Amino acid sequence: MKKTAFLFPGQGSQSVGMGEEFYREYDTARELFDMTEEITRINISKLCFKGPLEDLTMTINLQPAVTAVNLASLAAIEKEYTAYHYCAGHSVGEYSALNAAGVISKEDTMRLVFKRGELMHRDATRHRGVMHAIVGLPIDEVSEMVSEEQNDGVVSVANHNTELQIVITGTEKAVARVSALASAKGAKSVPLKVSGAWHSALIKDAQDEFKVNLETVPFSSPQKSLLLNVTADSSDNPDEIKEIMSRQLCSPVRWYDAMKRLIDEDVEVFVEVGPGRVLAGLLKKILPRDHPAKIYNVGNMKQLEKFLKDI
């Protein structure tokens, strides 16, 4: 059997209409949305299916919304197929991966992502920040430029998405200075449409408070191999996983390293479970040309049928 990895998207993958087909088709999906709405007191199904996109994209709404769609997509797949071996999720998508791996329950997954979104929204309004994607330079060069700007403002690496796509985060002036340095070296700098400087010290208060919430949630040993954002490595120890997750909010998402690890483990089937095609797009830039991989997206019925037919 070919090794298979399920990948769960985070913020940036949303679109109006996401999850609606699974909601109409499966009781399990409806139950997930009902549970999400009971926990959050937000009409998540209306936001996902009807929008408006501006309201859906608000961090406090989006984190439980994208998680609900991820888990509804997973539930639809698992009616027919459960033989996947690896899980990973990008930023807030990592909580969907924790659930898929059997580490935390669906209810605790939703409680955590809702609280995470609340705290991040709070800190984003207290400490304004921005994020830019730097395209065309390797991580060592970007990290060096970031280090040079640490004495005047806050700036750090937020996401290492592909070999030459790195997102930086922090205060506006410090991020702009690093972007200018990158542009002078021939890289492209793209400001991102985000409401806060995620994965930076500007949301340290949120991370500290969120750690208290994590402590109240029971973590179990993973039933699938779970690659974590902070380390780009796996762990079988629930206490270690919880400790690593307590650092996730302000640590870089080492997505490139995690995907390279899956490639080294000879994973041949990659499934983006949830809305959009962001992670599939990144993976296509990471995979070696001679790697015998198949990439699937499962966010609607047509995509589900294709995956189940092929697998």
Q: Is 91 a catalytic residue?
A: yes
CB burial class (10 A; 0-12, 13-18, 19+) of residue 247?
A: middle
CB burial class (10 A; 0-12, 13-18, 19+) of residue 188?
A: middle
Residue 263 tokens, joined = 């490639």
Q: Please count the other Cβ atoms lying within 10 Å of the Cβ belonging to residue 293.
A: 18
Out of 91, 96, 200, 225, which one is annotated catalytic?
Answer: 91
Out of 199, 200, 225, 246, which one is annotated catalytic?
Answer: 199
Pairing of strands 86-89, 225-226: parallel
d(CA 69, CA 297): 13
Q: Please tell me whether residue 244 adopts helix, strand or coil conformation.
A: helix
Question: Is 175 in contact with 182 (CB distance < 8 Å)?
Answer: no
d(CA 302, CA 309): 11
CB neighbours of 75 closer than 8 A, spacing ≥ 6?
Answer: 22, 26, 28, 29, 32
DSSP annotation of 167 reads: E
Q: Is 90 a catalytic residue?
A: no
* Residues taking part in catalysis: 91, 199
